Amino acid sequence: MKIGVLGAGVMGSGIAQVCALAGDDVACYDVAPAALDEARAHVTSGRFGLDNAVARGKVTRVQADAALARITFTASFEAAAASNIVIEAVPERLELKVRVFRDLDRVAPPGTILASNTSGLPIAAFAAATDRPDRVIGWHWASPAPVMKLAEIVVTPETSDATIATVVDTATRCGKHPIVVKDNPMQWGFVANRVYFAMVREAQRVVDEGLATREQVDQLMTDCFRWPSGPFGMVAGAGSGWT
């Protein structure tokens, strides 16, 4: 299978790395040559890149080298669009993503599935920008993509069963835990981020009321619930890419 990834930032490069390790050929696209250079560095020598995966014994050197060889870092939109699945990972701006989906629909082969890594923007808006709403779907990843198991698969009433099955199968091959949820254009965040931000809001209320510091809240949550990070640590990590 060929996967196109649009956007070569921390998320896009991580998605490209995961898909390549799963055995897929990947075209990782960005408009900025510097971003493509940084993406290659993230994939090879970044904190969650292939070199460190080899050092930790997660993959062999042969597997890492083969995965890197399967990734093409490209400035050609058409090359990325010519894929079985295209995963959009451009900045989180509705008008930009709608324009990307409109352009993808024009360029990509008719059978290509168009997926968005949006954290919570309405998938229905992207589907409406295309003539293939049955092949438009949300595939929300978590940062860092090579580590986190999240695969929040977001479907509209028009998303076809075949599209859902293909994306769920691909996410499973990538070592993720796909959970299919429904799009709700009236509410930002799908499921994971709606619950996440409710937790962050309450944690901030505790701090504002003077009951505890941010550091204390984080420690209490990790000690009590065995979270890998407290709410404020999660906010910081999501913003920095856990680098």
Concatenating the DSSP letter of every residue in 146-157 gives TT--EEEEEE-T
E strands within the chain? 2-6, 25-29, 71-74, 85-88, 113-116, 136-140, 150-155, 177-182
Q: Which residues contact 101 (CB under 8 A, 6 or more apart)?
A: 88, 114, 116, 126, 127, 129, 130, 136
Q: What are 121-175's pLDDT values in tens digits? A: 999 999 999 999 999 999 999 989 999 999 999 999 999 999 999 999 999 999 9
Q: What six digits make up the tokens of 190? A: 């799908």
Rounded Cα–Cα distance for residues 50 and 12 (Å): 15
| Percentage of the chain modeled with pLDDT above 70 | 98
- Which domains occur in the chain, in start order? 2-182 (3.40.50.720), 192-240 (no CATH)
Strands, DSSP E only, in 8-112?
25-29, 71-74, 85-88
240 vs 243: CA distance, rounded Å: 6
Q: What is the mean pLDDT of residues 181-190?
A: 96
- Give the type of residue at 129: A
For residue 164, the tally of other CB atoms under 10 A from its CB is 16
CA angle 96, 115, 37 (to 5 degrees): 65
Q: Counting every residue, how long is the chain? A: 243
Q: What is the mean pLDDT of residues 197-215?
A: 97
| Average confidence (pLDDT) over 226-240 | 83
pLDDT confidence tier of residue 240, bands split at 50, 70 and 90: low
pTM: 0.93
Q: State the virtual CA torsion across 49, 54, 60, 62 in degrees, nearest 10.
A: 60
Residue 241 pLDDT = 53
- For the annotated catalytic residues, the residue numbers are 119, 140, 152, 193
How far apart CA 132 and CA 180 sit, in angstroms, is 20
Say which DSSP state 90 is in. Answer: -
In this structure, the strands spanning 85-88 and 71-74 are unpaired
Q: What is the pLDDT of residue 202?
A: 97
> Which tens digit of pLDDT belongs to each residue from 32-90?
999 999 999 999 999 999 999 999 999 999 999 999 999 999 999 999 999 999 999 99
CA dist., res. 239 & res. 243, Å (int): 10
